[in-house]
């Protein structure tokens, strides 16, 4: 990540709306190792949600987290379109998260494991991912050196 930001950030920083500038400036200082640790924390949360769904047959957290991940795909696509350039995460979003999410929801609905109302009801549970992501970045910032 730091290589991409070092090469490109100065080219598009002026396009970033002011409410998002502070967040983007902070993101530009995150190292690849810090980002990887934050993603690991997120993955652990997803594994726990998956275990709860598969073992406990309680799908709300699992569905909610996967909905948020699916919606996040469109954030990466939107960033690329708005900035008119490749942004980190867009390829992963398009080629991995999007097909996985679409197939996951298709199979769960076709097999009648969940219903559309289950999916809608689960959306607030997905927002539990937000503090998990923030915690992952906080932890990474405390444990690993930042690019300043």
- Span 48-75, pLDDT tens digits: 999 999 999 999 999 999 999 999 999 9
| Residue 65 placed within a domain | yes
Q: What is the pTM of this model?
A: 0.88
In a domain, 21, yes or no: no
Q: Which domain holds residue 132?
A: 30-143
Asked, for residue 123, whether it belongs to a domain, the answer is yes
Is residue 80, in this structure, part of any structural domain at all?
A: yes
Ranges of residues in the chain with a pLDDT under 70 are 146-148
**What is the tally of structural domains in the chain?**
1
Structure token pair of residue 79: 């960033």
* Residue 131 located in a structural domain: yes
């Amino acid at each position: 990540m730091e290589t991409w930001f070092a090469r490109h950030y100065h080219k598009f920083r002026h396009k970033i709306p002011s409410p998002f500038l502070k967040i983007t400036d902070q993101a530009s200082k995150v190292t690849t190792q810090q980002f990887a640790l934050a993603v690991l924390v997120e993955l652990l949360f997803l594994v726990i949600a998956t275990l709860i769904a598969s073992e406990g047959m309680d799908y709300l957290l699992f569905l909610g987290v996967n909905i948020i991940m699916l919606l996040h795909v469109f954030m990466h696509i939107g960033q690329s379109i708005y900035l008119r350039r490749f942004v980190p995460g867009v390829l992963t979003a398009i080629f991995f998260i999007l097909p996985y999410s679409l197939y996951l929801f298709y199979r769960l609905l076709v097999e009648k494991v969940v219903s559309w109302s289950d999916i809608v009801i689960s959306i607030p549970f997905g927002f539990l991912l937000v503090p998990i992501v923030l915690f992952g970045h906080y932890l990474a910032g405390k444990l690993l050196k930042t690019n300043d």
